[in-house]
Every structure is written in C-alpha cells, then in structure tokens.
C-alpha cells in the first residue's frame, strides 16, 4: 500500500495560512467594511491621494 503524500506549500502560501490563523485567533487586527462600496470608496480615496502626492513630488 502506498503512503499518502503530504502537500508541500510554497513560502507565500504558508505565510497566508499563518496570517489567516492569526486573524481568526484575534491575534492580528484587520479592517472590516460594512459593504463593498465602503471598501471601494476607501481604495479610490487612497488612489486619489497618491496621485496628488505624485503631482506635488514630481
């Protein structure tokens, strides 16, 4: 009978698994949103702020 092979994950996958565990255990604080629109509004605001900084610095 053959032995079952255990999956080998790359470093990035292992890091993502560890991050997910620490979030689920409450060891890591994460931001949450009440709806997708709230998330996209924040992303857009950050993008616009970056554009303004680029114009000022450049």
32 DSSP assignment: -
Q: Classify residue 7: in a domain, yes or no.
A: no
Q: Classify residue 37: in a domain, yes or no.
A: yes
Q: Classify residue 48: in a domain, yes or no.
A: yes
pTM of the entire predicted model: 0.53
The number of domains in the chain is 1
Q: Classify residue 42: in a domain, yes or no.
A: yes
pLDDT at 53: 87
pLDDT at 6: 77
Q: How far is CA 41 from CA 23, 51, 52, in A?
A: 24, 15, 17
Alpha helices in the chain (DSSP H): 11-24, 36-57
pLDDT at 1: 67
- Mean pLDDT, the chain cut into blocks of 10 residues (58 residues total): 80 97 95 96 96 81
């Amino acid at each position: 009978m053959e032995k079952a092979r255990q999956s080998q994950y790359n470093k990035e996958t292992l890091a993502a698994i560890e991050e997910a565990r620490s979030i689920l255990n409450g060891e890591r604080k994460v931001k949450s949103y009440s709806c997708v629109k709230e998330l996209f509004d924040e992303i857009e605001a950050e993008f616009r702020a970056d554009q303004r900084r680029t114009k000022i610095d450049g």
